[in-house]
Amino acid sequence: MDEARRVVLRGAGATGVLAVALAAGLLKPERAIAASWNKAAFDAKSAVDALKSIGAADTQESGDIVIEAPQIAENGAVVPIEVSSKIPGTTSLAVLIEKNPFPLAAHFKFTGGAMPFVKVNVKMGESSIVRVVADAGGKHYTATKEVKVTIGGCGG
Amino acid sequence: MSGPMKARARMQGSYADVRVLMSHPMETGQRKGRDGKPIPKHFIQNLEVKLNGKTVIEGEVSQAVSRNPVFSFRIGGAKAGDKVEISWLDNKGDTNKTETAVA
Amino acid sequence: MRATAFVWPLTAAIALATTQVAAQSRFEQYQKMVGEDSPAELFVLVGADLWRKKQGPKNASLERCDLGKGPGVVKGAYASMPRYFKDTGNVEDPETRVLYCMMTLQGRDRKEALKRPFGNADKPSEMEYLMAYLAFESRGYKIHPGKSHPKEKRAYELGKQLFFARTGLWDFSCASCHGTEGLRIRMSDLPVLSKAGPARAAMSTWPAYRVSNSQMKTMQWRINNCYRQMRTPEPNWGSEVVNSMHMYLMVTAEGGTYAGPGTKR
Amino acid sequence: MTTKKWMLAAGLTALVFSPAAVADLSYAEVQQIIKRDFHAKGQAKMDRLDQDVVQRVCTQSDDKPPADVAKAIEADQLAAIPFPSGSLMGDWKKGASSAWSGRGMQWHEDPKKPSGGGCYNCHEISAKRTSFGTIGPSLRGFGKKRGSGPDMQKYVYGKIYNAKAYSLCSHMPRFGTTGSLTEQQIKDLVAYILDSNSPNNQ
């Protein structure tokens, strides 16, 4: 984290007196980026454990979460997944690839005018259920979609 | 080490459609190099999107995001000319950012 | 490839080109989603910088390179190659021509400039970046390689014969895989490259970002890669064989709207 | 190959109109250009560019050789297959992994490691594998449908060893003739296709 901060500060162009002040903790740097990362959730080896770690152990199925993903992907290295929630008050969306070694792939929080929508390309080791969990008013809603991963090319 | 980053934002009705491309290896730690040794994990962990200086999206991602990541977001209430800034931070502390005006 | 011939809808004008791609594929939804926003654009950015970068013994950029439309003209050039060049007396595709410009304008040694024509995901080659840039500058242009000079005609003829010639340890011709409609290798659809429709879809989207290995790949690489899988020795970079194969494919694709760099499996 | 048949094949250009060999570039010229414009790399030596009679006849006839020519050369190819004595059924489990692997004989590959058959590149076989090509016919349930006796074993072995012995301009490589697969590997593939215990016939 120290290394991260140092680089972030350098990236922000901190030099001279300003850098000294920042290093001494006298000034808060213009926050280049939020740096909290839920290690427990991302290291979880099952979707259930990952959901517990993000505080979403209890979920209910919802038809208002839309997952657009190809039913069949030509290559697992890039599988585009577009998710959005029509549930009023949605503040976060988590994307989990259930069969991946570490299922949680992304967790986005939305504030201000940002709509609960994200499109992201993910790696899938094999065909899997893609699970999306939305947080709205402290309640968690979920939806799934299956994506089949195939193998192309000459395999050599 | 970090290559280019590119963003564009366009009004689509009531929201700004924001698309961003990033150069990053997104190493999973499971791949082996030519020398047979595993290549250490190296991936983006945090993303942030700001509209006119105010944070609107905070993302945490894993090594499962594809190499050279591509993201799309939608920001309601934006208008043409608004400033959109996007930055990332990876597990080694490398960072990069870009900005664009909503068209 | 026909199957991967979506068009990246950067502009409305380009999007019109999708109408020429009628082929249906089980991967259509996948390819459309992958192509909508592609890292290919990052390679275009780096390529544009490299094109303008002064380097080599003459400390010059490639900006005055004559790609067939006069020195310094890059718009539409990629889509109008390969073509015959009077100064070299040869039919040259974009990569072969850019090598010539590196040698003449920048004063670089052929060996040095060609040390690493094909890169990898960790370190793409200079040529791969440059081709992404030149390809981008041809978006929306009609594919129209040189067809009138006798050497251009010869290149087409040679390319055509090469396309159908059985060769290599495993007796393949290009047509073994790319000559019959509706076939696939594993789950990859195989475009019939001797027919205008599929050839247009394929040739309008090379060079391409390959998502399977996160690399920008050029047409010289693509031809090289086919021969590798045909179990032949390696074709010489920039040789008459490779340029002629490229010519045959581009002439077959003539009239298509160029939309590279593409994004493929 | 007998002298008579060599002559027959060599004279083919005159017999068959070939759309692939037109205009001012002769067959010989094209072959010369090919040899000039390639270089040996790794295990892929330049002799791989020497067209043998099969490649030449198929190239010159646009893969449609006259029936009598095809028959004569096919017979020669068949006669050159060294069929092992005894059972041709190997281990279907080994055959399964070899059928799936597409590696082997390419210039960047280590020739000491065994090649795969790459069967799934072109053929549908076991229902367990959902990624398969369609250049060749489906072989799913082949043993169940067609039997697995000595004659069928010999046919499948021969087909893998040298597909050109059965259909001259087939697009299938000659895995045995070219040394791409060993006798044991071919037997294992025969079992994968025919053995009643193989998932292909379950």
CA of C120 vs chain D CAs: smallest distance (Å): 15
The sign of the CA dihedral A26, A32, A38, A43 is: negative
CA dist B35 → B26, B32, B38, C172 (Å): 19, 8, 9, 33
Question: Do the chains contact at A154 and D120, CB–CB below 8 Å?
Answer: no
| Window C:55-74, CB contacts with B under 8 Å | none
CA of B67 vs chain A CAs: smallest distance (Å): 8
Site of tokens 């490589």: D173
Pinpoint the alpha helices (H) of D80-165: 92-100, 119-122, 142-146, 150-161
Contact B98, B7 (CB under 8 A): yes
What number of C-beta contacts closer than 8 Å exist between B and C? 32
CA-nearest of C197, C199, C217 to C209 is C217
Question: Do the chains contact at C212 and A152, CB–CB below 8 Å?
Answer: yes
CA-nearest of D139, D132, D55 to D92 is D139
Does the pLDDT at position A25 exceed 50?
no
Chains B and D share 3 or more Cβ pairs within 8 Å: no
A83 touches chain B (CB under 8 A): no
Which stretches of chain D drop beneath a pLDDT of 70?
Answer: 1-23
Chains touching C, CB cut-off 8 Å, 3+ pairs:
A, B, D
Q: Which of D109, D118, D130 sits opposite A155 (nearest CB)?
A: D118
The tokens of B94 are what? 């490398």
Q: Which CATH architecture has domain C35-264?
A: Orthogonal Bundle (1.10)
pLDDT at B31: 87
Closest-CA residue of chain C to D104: C231
The tokens of A65 are what? 């979460």
**Dist CA B62 CA C82 (whole Å):** 44
Instruction: For residue A127, list chain C residues with Cβ-Cβ distance below 8 A.
Output: none
pLDDT at C24: 52
What average pLDDT is seen over chain C?
A: 90
Instruction: For residue B94, list chain A residues with Cβ-Cβ distance below 8 A.
Output: 7
**Could you tell me the strand order of the sheet in which A117-122 lies?**
A65-68, A79-85, A117-122, B70-76, B15-22, B5-12
| Contact partners, residue D151, CB within 8 Å, separation at least 6 | none
Active centre residues of C (catalytic): 226
Which has the minimum average pLDDT: A54-58, B95-99, C3-7? C3-7
How many helices (H) and strands (E) are present in chain B, helices listed first? 0, 7
Radius of gyration of chain A (CA): 19
Radius of gyration of chain C (CA): 17
**Dist CA A43 CA B66 (whole Å):** 18
The tokens of C171 are what? 């007796």
Indicate the pairing of strand A60-61 with strand A139-149. Answer: parallel
Q: Which residue has the higher pLDDT, A18 or D169?
A: D169
pLDDT at B22: 96
pLDDT at C37: 80
Q: Which of B28, B30, B60 to mutate to test the interface with A (most CBs of A within 10 A)?
A: B60
The tokens of C207 are what? 């060079």
Number of domains in chain B: 1
A109 touches chain B (CB under 8 A): yes
Closest-CA residue of chain B to C121: B25
Instruction: For residue B23, list chain C residues with Cβ-Cβ distance below 8 A.
Output: 39, 42
Closest-CA residue of chain C to A77: C212
pLDDT digit string (tens) for A30-60?
455 667 999 999 999 999 999 999 999 999 9
Both A26 and A48 in one domain: the answer is no
If one counts every other C-beta atom within 10 angstroms of the C-beta of residue B94, the result is 18
Q: For residue B66, what is the DSSP state?
A: P
- B97: CATH: 2.60.40.10
> Does residue D102 sit in helix, strand or coil?
coil
CA-nearest of D105, C33, D143, D99 to B66 is C33
Both A65 and A22 in one domain: the answer is no
CA-nearest of A2, A33, A84 to B22 is A33
Both A135 and A79 in one domain: the answer is yes
Which has the minimum average pLDDT: A136-140, B24-28, B34-38, D2-6? D2-6
Question: Containing H/E element for C215?
Answer: strand C215-217
Chains A and C share 3 or more Cβ pairs within 8 Å: yes
Does the pLDDT at position A139 exceed 50?
yes
pLDDT digit string (tens) for A108-132?
999 999 999 999 999 999 999 999 9
Instruction: For residue C31, list chain A residues with Cβ-Cβ distance below 8 A.
Output: 74
Q: What is the pTM of this model?
A: 0.86
Every domain of chain C and the residues it spans: 1-34, 35-264
On whether residue A156 sits in a domain, the answer given is no
Q: Which of C37, C176, C211 to mutate to test the interface with A (most CBs of A within 10 A)?
A: C211
Chains touching B, CB cut-off 8 Å, 3+ pairs:
A, C
Chains C and B share 3 or more Cβ pairs within 8 Å: yes
**Dist CA C3 CA C229 (whole Å):** 20
Percent of chain C with pLDDT over 90: 79
> Does residue B103 sit in helix, strand or coil?
coil
Question: Do the chains contact at B6 and C41, CB–CB below 8 Å?
Answer: yes
Contact D141, D201 (CB under 8 A): yes
Closest-CA residue of chain C to D48: C168
C169 touches chain A (CB under 8 A): no
Q: How buried is C18 (Cβ within 10 angstroms: 0-12 exposed, 13-18 middle, 19+ buried)?
A: middle
Which has the minimum average pLDDT: A14-23, B46-55, C129-138, C233-242? A14-23
End-to-end CA distance of chain D: 42
Closest-CA residue of chain B to A44: B62
Both A109 and A43 in one domain: the answer is yes
pLDDT at D20: 45
CA-nearest of C208, C204, C207 to C258 is C204
CA of A152 vs chain B CAs: smallest distance (Å): 18
How far is residue C83 CA from its own chain's centroid? 14
CA of A76 vs chain D CAs: smallest distance (Å): 13
CA dist B5 → B30, C42, C46, D47 (Å): 25, 7, 10, 48
Both A104 and A119 in one domain: the answer is yes
Q: For residue A105, what is the DSSP state?
A: E
On whether residue A67 sits in a domain, the answer given is yes
pLDDT at A34: 60
Mean pLDDT of A62-86: 95
**Which residues constitute the domain of residue A18?**
1-35
Q: Which amino acid is at C56?
A: G
CA of A43 vs chain C CAs: smallest distance (Å): 25
Both A53 and A112 in one domain: the answer is yes
Chains touching D, CB cut-off 8 Å, 3+ pairs:
A, C
Does the pLDDT at position A11 exceed 50?
no
pLDDT digit string (tens) for C6-47?
333 333 333 333 333 334 567 888 888 888 888 999 999 999
The tokens of B28 are what? 């999973």
A152 touches chain D (CB under 8 A): yes
**Dist CA A124 CA A71 (whole Å):** 13
Indicate the pairing of strand B95-101 with strand B83-90. Answer: antiparallel
Radius of gyration of chain B (CA): 15
The tokens of D185 are what? 């590997």
pLDDT at D24: 77
> Does residue D14 sit in helix, strand or coil?
helix
Both A61 and A22 in one domain: the answer is no
Q: Which of A148, A152, A156 sits opposite D118 (nearest CB)?
A: A156
CATH 1.10.40.30 is the classification of domain D92-201 = no
CA of C153 vs chain A CAs: smallest distance (Å): 32
Number of domains in chain A: 2
pLDDT at A33: 67
If one counts every other C-beta atom within 10 angstroms of the C-beta of residue C221, the result is 24
Site of tokens 């060893």: D161
Phi, psi of B87 (to 5 degrees): -135, 155
What number of C-beta contacts closer than 8 Å exist between C and D? 131
Question: Do the chains contact at A107 and B28, CB–CB below 8 Å?
Answer: no
pLDDT digit string (tens) for C74-100?
999 999 999 999 999 999 999 999 999
Phi, psi of D21 (to 5 degrees): -115, 80
Q: How buried is D108 (Cβ within 10 angstroms: 0-12 exposed, 13-18 middle, 19+ buried)?
A: exposed
On whether residue A18 sits in a domain, the answer given is yes
Question: Do the chains contact at A151 and D102, CB–CB below 8 Å?
Answer: no
What number of residues does chain A have? 156
CA of C132 vs chain D CAs: smallest distance (Å): 26
Question: Do the chains contact at B21 and C46, CB–CB below 8 Å?
Answer: no
